[in-house]
Amino acid sequence: MSLIMVLYYVISAYIAAMVIWNFLREKKNANDMILYLLILMPLVLRILRIK
Amino acid sequence: MSREWRIKSALIVIALVASILGGVPLYRHRHYRTPVVAGPGVTKVIKLSEFVPSLKGTMADADVFILEGKEPGGKVLVMANTHANEPAGLLATIIMIENAVVEKGTLILIPEFNNSGSLNTKPGDGYPLYYDIPTEWGRVRFRMGNRDASPLDQWPDPDVYIHYPDKKLFSYLDVRNTNRTWPGRPNGAVMERVTYAAMQMMRRDKVDIAIDMHGAETMFPVTNCIVAPDKSAKIATLTAMTVKAMEGFDNHVEGSPSGFHGLSHREIGDFSETLPFLLEAPIPFLDQPTGPKTVKLLLDGKDPFLLSLSKKKKLFVSYDENGWPMEKRVGQHCSVSLEIIRQYSKKNPDKAIRIQGIPRYAEIVKNGVGHYFHDPRKADPKSVYHE
């Protein structure tokens, strides 16, 4: 795996962590919670090397 | 549990279920392999990474089947699945691997040239993950791949792909398209290394002919044809005329544009002594104005919208109620390849190539593609490869 590809996985993991953090911080707005999870799914599938 | 966490828990469960339901079929598709029985003519199987070691262990590495005749002669390379969503070439090369016997010269076959692309899919276009080819002993399941390599194997894409060596600008996607990365380079992106490995093989082993099998939309002008640069044009023309006269199907010749770089029919000829030919068979499945992208459409090529367009003369091939079945496309690839080899051999008797056992167009149309596949359960396990 090339260095730039490794860096992109690191960036993906960082963004996923930020999305999870924002999801956990959200208290009331269910629409935002759904949006955070929708954004999270492709990131998780990429980090797990599924898609 | 607070209301907030009841909502969050429910959403997490829904997201997990959606990820698992979506992810598991994609994971299984990427790891599914089709058994292929190496026939009596296969004398050696090597890897593409033999020519570029950095490909070893990656999903971009590919099997190279070599069939050597008893008599020395010319060498022909046949590549399929350069675009893994154009499967007629793959099926034609598997027929060759399982049945061909070379008497003179050498036949080199790469059934999954863009191996990574064959492990990719295009859910946004509604591609099926698999298709089955019926045989007398059961069904053989193949992965339906994508035009481009998987981003799991080559990522990220650039904003603009700058072709090496002539610096022509392409769409960012074409950096994963092995028909835009010729002639490649040893330290470039993964797909550039794949094409470079093939170039090295052609240069090192002095391959005389390279045939790259594709499929093209019926609405695309460069379809149902042989694309050839000037150096291959004479053989391509004789081939087109002969298959029309002797086997009754059209396959005209298109010139390879000298300024359109990155394509096999251009760069193989420019960067080696090899004569390149790119074969295009019509594939209605890839046309945009069709019904659902089903396995049936992939295999029989029948579509009412294309039929309507054909009546309005909007297609570049003849099209009727019979569609464009897979048997016709695979048969064309086999017959045109055999005819290119025959025409080359006539012009170069000292480098002639003689091959037996590959069926021609009429036989494949009559018997079906699966008729020529062998049951891996009855084969010597050492001769079964997983593609």
Q: List pLDDT tens digits, range B349-369.
A: 999 999 999 999 999 999 999
Closest CA to B95 of B84, B109, B81: B109
Interface contact flag, B155 A8, Cβ < 8 Å: yes
Instruction: Identify the pLDDT of residue B14.
Output: 97
Given the DSSP bridges, would you call strands B225-228 and B275-282 parallel, antiparallel or unpaired? antiparallel
Whether the model pTM is above 0.90: yes
For residue B153, the chain A residue with the least C-alpha distance is A1
Instruction: Identify the pLDDT of residue B93.
Output: 98
Q: What is the rounded CA–CA span in Å between residue B79 and residue B299?
A: 21
Asked whether residue A1 carries a pLDDT value surpassing 90, the answer given is: no
By CB neighbour count within 10 A (0-12 exposed, 13-18 middle, 19+ buried), where does B208 fall?
Answer: buried
Provide the percentage of residues in chain A whose pLDDT is more than 90: 96
Q: What are the tokens at A23? A: 């999801």
Interface contact flag, B22 A45, Cβ < 8 Å: yes
> Residue B351 to residues B180, B277, B342, B344: CA-CA distances in angstroms?
30, 18, 11, 8
Closest partner residue to A50 (CB to CB) among B12, B27, B154 is B27
In angstroms, how far is CA B329 from the centroid of its own chain?
Answer: 12
Q: Tell whether A4 is within 8 A of chain B (Cβ).
A: yes
Q: Tell whether B13 is within 8 A of chain A (Cβ).
A: no
Closest partner residue to A40 (CB to CB) among B15, B23, B30 is B15
Q: Tell whether B26 is within 8 A of chain A (Cβ).
A: yes
With a CB cutoff of 8 Å and minimum separation 6, the contacts of B348 are: B74, B208
Rounded to the nearest angstrom, the minimum Cα separation between B52 and chain A is 15
Tell me which residues of chain B, numbers 170 to 189, contact chain A at a CB-CB cutoff of 8 Å.
none
Q: Tell whether B162 is within 8 A of chain A (Cβ).
A: no
ipTM of the complex: 0.94
Asked whether residue B39 carries a pLDDT value surpassing 90, the answer given is: yes
pLDDT category of residue B1 using cuts at 50, 70 and 90:
confident
Q: What is the rounded CA–CA span in Å between residue B193 and residue B175?
A: 11
> Residue B18 to residues A22, B14, B175, B180, B220: CA-CA distances in angstroms?
20, 6, 31, 35, 37
For residue A38, the chain B residue with the least C-alpha distance is B15
Asked whether residue A6 carries a pLDDT value surpassing 90, the answer given is: yes
Interface contact flag, B8 A4, Cβ < 8 Å: no
Closest CA to B336 of B214, B212, B222, B251: B251
Check: CB of residue B7 under 8 Å from CB of residue A30: yes
Give the angle B303-B308-B314 at the CA atoms, nearest 5°.
105
CA atoms within 13 Å, Cβ hemisphere of B328 = 22
